């Protein structure tokens, strides 16, 4: 006996007259005083079962016991629905099954929520994720993710990439986050780090002659959880030997197009446009600008140098946004409060400052009649940050964002940035990114002007991933470590294996990594990646389903050679 002949969503007019066995979940049950209707559901859709007490008294008795989410098997004939009962919203809506036998395969306790109810608090959805997964949204998203990854794998295979598995438990791979640590029973007091990415292993694959590596790699990063971040996530991780930047970008564009084609969507036009980092920061105030709309930031630094308004004349940078409407006093107050939250000292309106500007200065600002201008005067980074956020805020508020897709590259990042907390220089991407050709030597105490061969991929303002051409010269690698304040001995003790490998015939190489969940969330039109992940964690870092993380009994900790500073009682937590 087989459990079913076909899926619930498969039945059509052509099946009328067939005797079929179907199985699935009771989506709804309606008792019409004798006649019982059950919508039977599986991942393909729903089909209506009709149980008539006169024709099938046993099945009818069973049908009365059925509650939502019971698992049922039904045998019966496919019949046409009466014309007035045809449901045009259902693929199977022209037919129904006249049930002969009905079996309950599995029962359900009363439900915490109905499958497909959209008004359920997320923690509850995640606590009972198996119910949530049965709903249309998660079925669609997980299957979309599957198809996208299948399309990516196919493309990588066609392009000659080799899928190489690399370790999760390793020495820390510096990608700018904290590591998750794994204690080691056999060596108490020592820890593995969970790989923040396979970065160094993929580079070693290049030194090892693999030539083209890829992996759908799981990465672990101990960072605060956000809409686009979970502790663990997957990347399309790739690396190529003997490669220039453009070739890496071409491969990534092909992978994106492969995924779009695999899910049956019109792919974005290639090549994706390039935007230089400096330009992105100046015009959009972000290194991952949303280019679906204009609202570009304008510069007024030169135009206001001679202004009679002290703040404008002396600030290192004065920039503004032209907003295509008049802004009332109260709206301005609200926007200024936001700007202050984001770090500005103030947000000036043209009407407030125009009296301090000469006619030429005003003309240079080119603010059309009926529009307003909002100014921030401060250090360049503050101005970019605040106007970048304001640009996004206004675009949403004024409904300026069209439903198109824009993919683009951001290129030519600085190699180093200043770490405000430690006062040291640190890497912009990671310490293995190569400087631009011709910039291999720099003053290690002031590397601000050095550019890196680093590039990011952005889709509608979401950073999908980053990559770079890598350093394959030991001396340059050591110089980067020293610039970051890491003496040669420390670099040798932490990254001796990499330095050794680079010293034993490392080919020029480069690569990229794209976040799979971010990509699929965008494909699915979801606002956060939790809707793409089968079993995600909530923002506190907990898993509502299993209750993890949990405290551990002292003997388990002792076995791993660790002691918890503070912990709840494992028996009651």
Residues 408 and 394 sit within 8 Å (Cβ to Cβ): no
**Contact track, ligand ASP, 41-70, x by CB under 6 A:** ------------------------------
Nearer to ligand ASP, 50 or 513 (CB): 513
Q: What is the dihedral of CA 376, 377, 378, 383, to 10 degrees?
A: 30
Nearer to ligand ASP, 59 or 193 (CB): 193
CB of 442 to ligand ASP, least distance (A): 21
Nearer to ligand ASP, 48 or 166 (CB): 166
- Best CA proximity match to 453, nearest among 475, 438, 474, 463: 438
Task: Select from 60, 92, 155, 199 the one that contacts ligand ASP (CB under 6 A).
Answer: 199
CB-count burial class (<10 Å; 0-12, 13-18, 19+) for 48: buried
**Contact track, ligand ASP, 494-523, x by CB under 6 A:** -----------------xxx----------
How many whole angstroms separate alpha carbon 476 and alpha carbon 434?
8
Within 10 A of 87 (CB to CB), how many other CB atoms are there?
A: 14
CB of 466 to ligand ASP, least distance (A): 5
How many whole angstroms separate alpha carbon 420 and alpha carbon 312?
25
Report if residue 466 touches ligand ASP, rule: CB under 6 A.
Answer: yes
Report if residue 213 touches ligand ASP, rule: CB under 6 A.
Answer: no
Report if residue 220 touches ligand ASP, rule: CB under 6 A.
Answer: no
Report if residue 468 touches ligand ASP, rule: CB under 6 A.
Answer: yes
CB of 164 to ligand ASP, least distance (A): 14
Interface segment toward ligand ASP; rule CB under 6 A; list 82-90, 261-269, 465-473, 476-484: 465-473
CB of 184 to ligand ASP, least distance (A): 25
Query: Across the strands, what pairs with 47?
Result: 40
Task: Select from 15, 39, 42, 175 the one that contacts ligand ASP (CB under 6 A).
Answer: 175
How many whole angstroms separate alpha carbon 350 and alpha carbon 438?
44
How many whole angstroms separate alpha carbon 167 and alpha carbon 194?
9
Q: Is the dihedral of CA 428, 431, 437, 441 positive or negative?
A: positive
Report if residue 197 touches ligand ASP, rule: CB under 6 A.
Answer: yes
Q: What does the angle CA 418 – CA 420 – CA 422 come to, to the nearest 5 degrees?
A: 95
Nearer to ligand ASP, 176 or 553 (CB): 176
CB of 456 to ligand ASP, least distance (A): 9
Report if residue 349 touches ligand ASP, rule: CB under 6 A.
Answer: no
Under DSSP, is residue 493 helix (H, G, I), strand (E, B) or coil?
Answer: helix
Q: Is the dihedral of CA 110, 111, 117, 122 positive or negative?
A: positive
Nearer to ligand ASP, 28 or 168 (CB): 168
> Where on the chain is the footprint of ligand ASP (CB under 6 A)?
175, 197, 199, 235, 466-468, 511-513
């Amino acid at each position: 006996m087989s459990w079913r002949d076909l899926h619930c969503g498969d039945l059509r007019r052509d099946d009328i007259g067939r005797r079929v066995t179907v199985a699935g979940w009771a989506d709804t049950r309606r008792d019409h005083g004798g006649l019982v209707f059950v919508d039977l559901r599986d991942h393909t859709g729903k089909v209506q079962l009709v149980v008539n007490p006169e024709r099938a008294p046993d099945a009818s008795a069973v049908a009365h016991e059925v509650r939502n989410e019971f698992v049922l098997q039904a045998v019966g004939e496919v019949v046409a629905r009466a014309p007035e009962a045809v449901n045009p919203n259902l693929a199977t809506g022209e037919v129904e099954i006249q049930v002969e036998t009905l079996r309950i395969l599995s029962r359900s306790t009363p439900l915490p929520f109905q499958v497909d109810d959209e008004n359920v608090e997320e923690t509850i959805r995640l606590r009972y994720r198996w119910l949530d997964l049965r709903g249309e949204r998660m079925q669609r998203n997980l299957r979309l993710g599957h198809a996208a990854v299948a399309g990516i794998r196919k493309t990588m295979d066609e392009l000659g990439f080799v899928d190489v598995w690399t370790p999760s438990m390793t020495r820390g791979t510096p990608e700018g986050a904290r590591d998750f640590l794994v204690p080691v029973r056999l060596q108490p007091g020592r820890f593995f780090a969970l790989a923040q990415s396979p970065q160094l292993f993929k580079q070693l694959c290049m030194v090892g002659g693999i030539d083209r590596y890829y992996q759908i790699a799981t990465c672990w990063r101990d960072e605060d959880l956000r809409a686009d971040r979970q502790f663990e996530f997957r990347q399309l991780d790739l690396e190529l030997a003997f490669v220039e930047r453009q070739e890496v970008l071409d491969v990534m564009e092909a992978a994106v197009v492969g995924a779009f084609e695999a899910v049956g969507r019109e792919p974005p036009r290639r090549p994706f446009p390039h935007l230089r980092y400096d330009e992105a920061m100046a015009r959009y105030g972000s290194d991952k600008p949303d280019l679906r709309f204009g609202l570009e930031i304008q510069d007024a630094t030169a135009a206001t140098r001679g202004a009679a308004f002290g703040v404008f004349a002396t600030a290192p940078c004065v920039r503004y946004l032209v907003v295509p409407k008049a802004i009332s006093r109260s709206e301005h107050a609200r926007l200024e409060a936001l700007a202050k939250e984001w770090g500005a000292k103030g947000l000036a309106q043209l009407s407030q400052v125009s009296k301090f500007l000469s006619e030429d200065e005003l003309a240079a600002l080119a603010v059309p009649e009926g529009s307003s201008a909002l100014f921030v005067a401060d250090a360049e980074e503050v101005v970019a940050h605040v106007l970048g956020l304001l640009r996004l805020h206004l675009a949403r508020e004024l409904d300026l964002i069209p439903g198109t897709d824009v993919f683009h590259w951001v290129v030519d990042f600085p190699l180093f940035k200043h770490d405000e907390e430690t006062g040291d220089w640190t890497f912009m991407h990671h310490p293995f990114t190569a400087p631009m050709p011709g910039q291999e030597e720099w003053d290690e105490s002031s590397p601000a002007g050095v550019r890196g061969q680093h590039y990011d991929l952005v889709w509608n303002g979401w950073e999908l991933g980053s990559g770079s051409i890598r350093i394959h010269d030991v001396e340059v690698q050591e110089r980067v470590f020293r610039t970051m304040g890491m003496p040669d001995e420390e670099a040798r003790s932490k990254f001796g294996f990499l330095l050794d490998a680079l010293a034993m015939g490392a080919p020029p190489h480069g690569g990229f990594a794209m976040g799979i969940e971010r990509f699929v969330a965008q494909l699915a039109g979801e606002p956060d990646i939790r809707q793409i992940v089968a079993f995600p964690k909530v923002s506190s870092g907990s898993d509502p389903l299993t209750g993890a993380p949990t405290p551990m009994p002292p003997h388990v900790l002792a076995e791993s050679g660790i002691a918890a500073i503070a912990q709840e009682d494992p028996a009651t937590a």
